[in-house]
Amino acid sequence: MTSLPVPKIGPYPVSAIGLGCMNLSHAYGISPSEADGIRLLNHALDAGVTFFDTAALYGMGANERLVGKAIMHRKAEFTLASKCVLDVYDGKRGLNGRPDAILKTLDQALVRLGTDHIDLYYLHRLDRNVPIEESVGALARAREAGKIGAIGVSEMSAPTIRRAHAEHPLAAVQSEYSPWVRNVEVAVLDTCRELGIGFVAFSPVARGFLAGAVSSLDFVEGDIRTAMPRFQEPSFTQNLALFERFKTVAETAGVTPAQLSLAWVLSRGDHIVPIPGTRSITHLDEDLAAASMDVSVEAFAAVDEIFAPGAVAGPRYSPAMQAQIDTELLPEEVAG
Protein backbone atom coordinates (compact mmCIF):
# COMPACT_ATOMS: atom_id res chain seq x y z
CA MET A 1 0.00 0.00 0.00
CA THR A 2 1.20 3.49 -0.87
CA SER A 3 1.30 5.97 2.03
CA LEU A 4 -0.57 8.95 0.57
CA PRO A 5 -1.12 12.26 2.35
CA VAL A 6 -4.67 12.64 3.63
CA PRO A 7 -6.51 15.90 2.90
CA LYS A 8 -10.23 16.30 3.59
CA ILE A 9 -13.09 16.79 1.19
CA GLY A 10 -15.91 18.05 3.37
CA PRO A 11 -16.16 15.63 6.28
CA TYR A 12 -14.19 12.91 4.50
CA PRO A 13 -10.46 12.23 4.85
CA VAL A 14 -9.35 11.09 1.37
CA SER A 15 -6.14 10.11 -0.35
CA ALA A 16 -4.19 13.02 -1.84
CA ILE A 17 -4.79 11.51 -5.29
CA GLY A 18 -8.13 9.88 -6.04
CA LEU A 19 -9.30 7.86 -9.02
CA GLY A 20 -11.60 9.10 -11.75
CA CYS A 21 -13.45 6.00 -12.89
CA MET A 22 -15.02 7.43 -16.07
CA ASN A 23 -12.66 6.01 -18.66
CA LEU A 24 -13.31 2.44 -17.50
CA SER A 25 -16.74 2.73 -19.18
CA HIS A 26 -16.91 5.96 -21.15
CA ALA A 27 -15.40 8.70 -23.31
CA TYR A 28 -12.17 7.29 -24.71
CA GLY A 29 -13.25 4.70 -27.24
CA ILE A 30 -13.32 0.99 -26.50
CA SER A 31 -13.66 0.32 -22.78
CA PRO A 32 -11.60 -2.36 -21.01
CA SER A 33 -13.25 -5.63 -20.08
CA GLU A 34 -15.25 -5.81 -16.89
CA ALA A 35 -12.62 -8.12 -15.40
CA ASP A 36 -9.84 -5.63 -16.15
CA GLY A 37 -11.90 -2.79 -14.68
CA ILE A 38 -12.56 -4.76 -11.52
CA ARG A 39 -8.87 -5.61 -11.23
CA LEU A 40 -7.81 -1.97 -11.57
CA LEU A 41 -10.35 -0.67 -9.06
CA ASN A 42 -9.28 -3.18 -6.44
CA HIS A 43 -5.61 -2.49 -7.12
CA ALA A 44 -6.30 1.20 -6.54
CA LEU A 45 -7.78 0.39 -3.14
CA ASP A 46 -4.86 -1.88 -2.30
CA ALA A 47 -2.45 0.90 -3.35
CA GLY A 48 -3.96 3.42 -0.95
CA VAL A 49 -6.58 5.24 -3.01
CA THR A 50 -9.55 6.11 -0.80
CA PHE A 51 -11.51 8.44 -3.12
CA PHE A 52 -13.39 7.10 -6.16
CA ASP A 53 -15.38 9.25 -8.58
CA THR A 54 -18.13 8.10 -10.95
CA ALA A 55 -21.35 9.53 -12.43
CA ALA A 56 -24.73 8.49 -13.78
CA LEU A 57 -23.72 9.59 -17.28
CA TYR A 58 -20.61 7.44 -17.60
CA GLY A 59 -21.44 4.56 -19.88
CA MET A 60 -25.15 5.30 -19.39
CA GLY A 61 -24.96 3.86 -15.88
CA ALA A 62 -22.40 1.17 -16.69
CA ASN A 63 -19.66 2.84 -14.67
CA GLU A 64 -21.75 2.96 -11.50
CA ARG A 65 -22.63 -0.71 -12.00
CA LEU A 66 -18.94 -1.55 -12.45
CA VAL A 67 -17.95 0.30 -9.28
CA GLY A 68 -20.79 -1.39 -7.44
CA LYS A 69 -19.73 -4.86 -8.54
CA ALA A 70 -16.00 -4.28 -8.14
CA ILE A 71 -15.50 -2.57 -4.79
CA MET A 72 -18.70 -1.81 -2.90
CA HIS A 73 -18.05 -4.87 -0.75
CA ARG A 74 -15.04 -2.86 0.49
CA LYS A 75 -17.00 0.35 1.05
CA ALA A 76 -15.59 0.88 4.54
CA GLU A 77 -12.20 1.56 2.89
CA PHE A 78 -13.10 4.54 0.68
CA THR A 79 -15.19 7.64 -0.01
CA LEU A 80 -17.56 7.35 -2.96
CA ALA A 81 -18.59 10.26 -5.19
CA SER A 82 -21.12 10.28 -8.02
CA LYS A 83 -23.13 12.85 -9.97
CA CYS A 84 -26.56 13.76 -11.33
CA VAL A 85 -28.23 16.31 -13.67
CA LEU A 86 -26.06 15.34 -16.66
CA ASP A 87 -27.65 12.02 -17.54
CA VAL A 88 -29.37 10.05 -20.27
CA TYR A 89 -33.00 11.03 -20.89
CA ASP A 90 -35.06 9.13 -23.46
CA GLY A 91 -31.90 7.55 -24.76
CA LYS A 92 -30.02 10.83 -25.24
CA ARG A 93 -27.49 12.75 -23.17
CA GLY A 94 -29.07 15.80 -21.59
CA LEU A 95 -29.33 18.16 -18.63
CA ASN A 96 -32.13 18.15 -16.11
CA GLY A 97 -31.68 19.96 -12.82
CA ARG A 98 -35.28 19.71 -11.67
CA PRO A 99 -35.66 18.17 -8.22
CA ASP A 100 -37.76 15.25 -9.47
CA ALA A 101 -35.17 14.35 -12.12
CA ILE A 102 -32.33 14.63 -9.60
CA LEU A 103 -34.01 12.30 -7.14
CA LYS A 104 -34.86 9.81 -9.89
CA THR A 105 -31.21 9.73 -11.03
CA LEU A 106 -30.07 9.35 -7.42
CA ASP A 107 -32.41 6.44 -6.74
CA GLN A 108 -31.26 4.71 -9.92
CA ALA A 109 -27.64 5.30 -8.96
CA LEU A 110 -28.14 3.72 -5.55
CA VAL A 111 -29.51 0.60 -7.23
CA ARG A 112 -26.65 0.44 -9.75
CA LEU A 113 -24.07 0.91 -7.04
CA GLY A 114 -25.72 -1.60 -4.74
CA THR A 115 -25.86 0.74 -1.77
CA ASP A 116 -28.27 2.96 0.14
CA HIS A 117 -25.82 5.85 0.60
CA ILE A 118 -23.41 7.86 -1.58
CA ASP A 119 -20.88 9.89 0.37
CA LEU A 120 -20.51 12.86 -2.00
CA TYR A 121 -23.09 13.67 -4.66
CA TYR A 122 -22.51 16.38 -7.27
CA LEU A 123 -24.63 18.41 -9.60
CA HIS A 124 -22.62 17.37 -12.67
CA ARG A 125 -23.41 20.52 -14.66
CA LEU A 126 -25.54 23.64 -14.28
CA ASP A 127 -29.02 23.41 -15.78
CA ARG A 128 -29.58 27.05 -16.67
CA ASN A 129 -33.33 26.45 -16.87
CA VAL A 130 -33.54 25.64 -13.15
CA PRO A 131 -32.42 27.96 -10.32
CA ILE A 132 -29.35 26.46 -8.67
CA GLU A 133 -31.10 26.81 -5.30
CA GLU A 134 -33.80 24.36 -6.41
CA SER A 135 -31.28 21.77 -7.54
CA VAL A 136 -29.19 22.10 -4.39
CA GLY A 137 -32.36 22.00 -2.31
CA ALA A 138 -33.21 18.61 -3.78
CA LEU A 139 -29.81 17.29 -2.69
CA ALA A 140 -30.24 18.85 0.75
CA ARG A 141 -33.45 16.86 1.17
CA ALA A 142 -31.68 13.71 -0.06
CA ARG A 143 -29.02 14.32 2.56
CA GLU A 144 -31.66 14.70 5.26
CA ALA A 145 -33.11 11.39 4.10
CA GLY A 146 -29.70 9.73 4.49
CA LYS A 147 -29.24 8.93 0.81
CA ILE A 148 -26.14 11.12 0.47
CA GLY A 149 -23.58 12.44 2.91
CA ALA A 150 -22.39 15.68 1.32
CA ILE A 151 -23.12 17.94 -1.66
CA GLY A 152 -20.87 19.10 -4.49
CA VAL A 153 -21.10 20.93 -7.81
CA SER A 154 -19.09 20.48 -10.99
CA GLU A 155 -17.87 22.95 -13.64
CA MET A 156 -19.59 25.95 -12.07
CA SER A 157 -18.51 29.57 -11.74
CA ALA A 158 -17.70 31.43 -8.54
CA PRO A 159 -21.06 33.29 -8.44
CA THR A 160 -22.97 30.02 -8.92
CA ILE A 161 -20.86 28.32 -6.26
CA ARG A 162 -21.68 31.10 -3.81
CA ARG A 163 -25.42 30.78 -4.51
CA ALA A 164 -25.26 27.01 -4.12
CA HIS A 165 -23.23 27.23 -0.92
CA ALA A 166 -25.72 29.72 0.55
CA GLU A 167 -28.54 27.24 -0.06
CA HIS A 168 -26.60 24.37 1.57
CA PRO A 169 -22.89 24.18 2.46
CA LEU A 170 -20.88 22.51 -0.29
CA ALA A 171 -18.20 19.93 0.45
CA ALA A 172 -16.59 20.01 -2.98
CA VAL A 173 -16.35 21.73 -6.33
CA GLN A 174 -15.07 19.65 -9.23
CA SER A 175 -13.67 21.13 -12.43
CA GLU A 176 -11.01 20.38 -15.01
CA TYR A 177 -7.59 21.61 -13.90
CA SER A 178 -4.11 20.97 -15.23
CA PRO A 179 -1.21 23.07 -16.51
CA TRP A 180 -3.09 23.54 -19.80
CA VAL A 181 -6.61 24.15 -18.42
CA ARG A 182 -6.42 27.04 -15.96
CA ASN A 183 -9.98 28.46 -15.96
CA VAL A 184 -10.54 27.82 -12.26
CA GLU A 185 -7.68 30.19 -11.47
CA VAL A 186 -9.91 33.10 -12.53
CA ALA A 187 -12.07 32.84 -9.38
CA VAL A 188 -13.09 29.29 -8.46
CA LEU A 189 -9.98 28.21 -6.55
CA ASP A 190 -9.99 31.35 -4.43
CA THR A 191 -13.72 31.04 -3.79
CA CYS A 192 -13.31 27.44 -2.62
CA ARG A 193 -10.44 28.44 -0.35
CA GLU A 194 -12.45 31.32 1.12
CA LEU A 195 -15.56 29.22 1.76
CA GLY A 196 -13.72 26.13 3.01
CA ILE A 197 -14.80 23.98 0.07
CA GLY A 198 -12.58 21.19 -1.24
CA PHE A 199 -11.55 21.36 -4.89
CA VAL A 200 -11.44 18.16 -6.98
CA ALA A 201 -9.41 18.40 -10.20
CA PHE A 202 -10.52 16.14 -13.03
CA SER A 203 -8.35 15.50 -16.09
CA PRO A 204 -5.21 16.62 -14.20
CA VAL A 205 -3.00 15.18 -16.95
CA ALA A 206 -5.02 16.87 -19.71
CA ARG A 207 -6.93 13.84 -20.97
CA GLY A 208 -3.67 11.96 -21.38
CA PHE A 209 -1.94 14.73 -23.35
CA LEU A 210 0.43 15.68 -20.52
CA ALA A 211 1.18 12.01 -19.88
CA GLY A 212 2.55 11.65 -23.40
CA ALA A 213 -0.32 9.33 -24.32
CA VAL A 214 -1.50 11.37 -27.33
CA SER A 215 1.17 11.71 -29.99
CA SER A 216 -1.11 11.50 -33.04
CA LEU A 217 -4.76 11.95 -33.96
CA ASP A 218 -5.54 8.28 -34.61
CA PHE A 219 -8.32 8.16 -32.03
CA VAL A 220 -10.71 5.21 -32.07
CA GLU A 221 -14.35 5.82 -32.87
CA GLY A 222 -16.25 7.25 -29.91
CA ASP A 223 -13.28 9.03 -28.34
CA ILE A 224 -14.58 12.39 -27.10
CA ARG A 225 -11.25 14.08 -27.80
CA THR A 226 -12.05 14.04 -31.52
CA ALA A 227 -14.58 16.83 -30.85
CA MET A 228 -12.20 18.93 -28.75
CA PRO A 229 -10.43 21.75 -30.65
CA ARG A 230 -7.11 21.26 -28.87
CA PHE A 231 -6.95 17.75 -30.31
CA GLN A 232 -7.66 18.97 -33.85
CA GLU A 233 -5.34 20.49 -36.42
CA PRO A 234 -3.77 22.99 -36.65
CA SER A 235 -3.95 23.36 -32.86
CA PHE A 236 -2.76 19.83 -32.12
CA THR A 237 0.63 20.22 -33.77
CA GLN A 238 1.20 23.52 -31.96
CA ASN A 239 0.28 21.91 -28.65
CA LEU A 240 2.61 18.96 -29.26
CA ALA A 241 5.48 21.44 -29.35
CA LEU A 242 4.43 22.64 -25.89
CA PHE A 243 4.38 19.05 -24.67
CA GLU A 244 7.91 18.43 -25.89
CA ARG A 245 9.11 21.36 -23.77
CA PHE A 246 7.04 20.05 -20.84
CA LYS A 247 8.57 16.58 -21.27
CA THR A 248 12.06 18.08 -21.10
CA VAL A 249 11.23 19.77 -17.79
CA ALA A 250 9.98 16.44 -16.44
CA GLU A 251 13.14 14.64 -17.53
CA THR A 252 15.30 17.29 -15.88
CA ALA A 253 13.25 16.96 -12.68
CA GLY A 254 13.62 13.17 -12.71
CA VAL A 255 9.89 12.45 -13.01
CA THR A 256 7.54 11.34 -15.77
CA PRO A 257 5.38 13.92 -17.57
CA ALA A 258 2.25 12.60 -15.84
CA GLN A 259 3.92 12.88 -12.44
CA LEU A 260 5.02 16.45 -13.18
CA SER A 261 1.47 17.42 -14.14
CA LEU A 262 0.01 15.84 -10.99
CA ALA A 263 2.68 17.31 -8.73
CA TRP A 264 1.99 20.73 -10.27
CA VAL A 265 -1.75 20.40 -9.54
CA LEU A 266 -1.05 19.29 -5.97
CA SER A 267 1.24 22.28 -5.47
CA ARG A 268 -1.53 24.76 -6.23
CA GLY A 269 -3.25 24.40 -2.86
CA ASP A 270 -3.76 22.04 0.05
CA HIS A 271 -7.50 21.99 -0.64
CA ILE A 272 -6.97 20.43 -4.09
CA VAL A 273 -7.36 16.69 -4.79
CA PRO A 274 -6.66 15.49 -8.35
CA ILE A 275 -8.53 12.45 -9.68
CA PRO A 276 -6.65 11.12 -12.72
CA GLY A 277 -8.22 8.26 -14.61
CA THR A 278 -6.40 5.34 -16.18
CA ARG A 279 -6.99 1.85 -17.50
CA SER A 280 -3.44 0.73 -16.68
CA ILE A 281 -2.29 -0.52 -13.29
CA THR A 282 1.26 0.53 -14.19
CA HIS A 283 0.10 4.06 -14.95
CA LEU A 284 -1.99 4.11 -11.78
CA ASP A 285 1.06 3.32 -9.67
CA GLU A 286 3.02 5.96 -11.57
CA ASP A 287 0.31 8.54 -10.84
CA LEU A 288 0.12 7.75 -7.13
CA ALA A 289 3.87 8.11 -6.73
CA ALA A 290 3.52 11.78 -7.68
CA ALA A 291 2.02 12.57 -4.27
CA SER A 292 5.31 11.86 -2.53
CA MET A 293 7.71 13.35 -5.06
CA ASP A 294 9.76 16.44 -4.30
CA VAL A 295 9.56 18.58 -7.43
CA SER A 296 11.40 21.90 -7.34
CA VAL A 297 9.86 25.34 -7.45
CA GLU A 298 12.01 25.97 -10.51
CA ALA A 299 10.40 23.06 -12.36
CA PHE A 300 6.93 24.38 -11.57
CA ALA A 301 7.98 27.83 -12.75
CA ALA A 302 9.16 26.30 -16.01
CA VAL A 303 5.75 24.63 -16.41
CA ASP A 304 4.03 27.97 -15.89
CA GLU A 305 6.27 29.57 -18.49
CA ILE A 306 5.45 26.88 -21.06
CA PHE A 307 1.72 27.23 -20.46
CA ALA A 308 1.66 31.00 -20.11
CA PRO A 309 -1.67 32.72 -20.89
CA GLY A 310 -2.53 32.24 -24.54
CA ALA A 311 0.13 29.58 -25.19
CA VAL A 312 -2.25 26.64 -25.67
CA ALA A 313 -3.80 26.55 -29.13
CA GLY A 314 -7.56 26.13 -29.36
CA PRO A 315 -10.42 26.32 -26.85
CA ARG A 316 -10.88 23.33 -24.58
CA TYR A 317 -14.43 22.58 -25.76
CA SER A 318 -16.49 22.88 -28.92
CA PRO A 319 -19.26 25.51 -28.77
CA ALA A 320 -21.88 22.81 -28.09
CA MET A 321 -19.91 21.35 -25.19
CA GLN A 322 -18.95 24.79 -23.84
CA ALA A 323 -22.66 25.68 -23.64
CA GLN A 324 -22.98 23.24 -20.72
CA ILE A 325 -20.03 24.75 -18.81
CA ASP A 326 -20.52 27.54 -16.26
CA THR A 327 -16.87 27.91 -15.21
CA GLU A 328 -15.32 31.28 -16.07
CA LEU A 329 -13.55 31.78 -19.38
CA LEU A 330 -9.94 32.94 -19.46
CA PRO A 331 -9.21 36.45 -20.82
CA GLU A 332 -7.82 35.06 -24.06
CA GLU A 333 -10.96 32.94 -24.54
CA VAL A 334 -13.18 35.98 -24.08
CA ALA A 335 -11.04 37.98 -26.49
CA GLY A 336 -11.22 35.15 -29.00
Residues forming beta bridges with residue 148, ordered by sequence position: 118
What's the fold here for domain 8-327?
Answer: TIM Barrel (3.20.20)
DSSP-derived pairing of the beta strands 86-89 and 92-95: antiparallel
What do you get for the CA distance between the two ends of the chain, in Å? 47
Which listed residue (12, 58, 121, 122) is catalytic? 58
DSSP-derived pairing of the beta strands 8-9 and 12-13: antiparallel
Q: What is the mean pLDDT of the chain?
A: 96
Q: What average pLDDT score do residues 223-228 get?
A: 94
DSSP string, 33-91: PHHHHHHHHHHHHHTT--EEE--STGGGGHHHHHHHHHHGGGGGG-EEEEEESEEEETT
Q: How confident is the model at residue 336 (pLDDT cuts 50, 70, 90)?
A: low
Does residue 59 contact residue 25 with C-beta atoms inside 8 Å? Answer: yes
Q: How far apart are CA 316 and CA 302, in angstroms?
A: 22
Q: How confident is the model at residue 29 (pLDDT cuts 50, 70, 90)?
A: confident
Model confidence over 229-269: pLDDT tens digits? 999 999 999 999 999 999 999 999 999 999 999 999 999 99
Domain ranges, ordered by start, for the chain: 8-327
Residues forming beta bridges with residue 176, ordered by sequence position: 202
What one-character DSSP code corresponds to residue 234? T
Nearest to 80 by CA among 70, 91, 90: 70
Known catalytic residue at 122: no
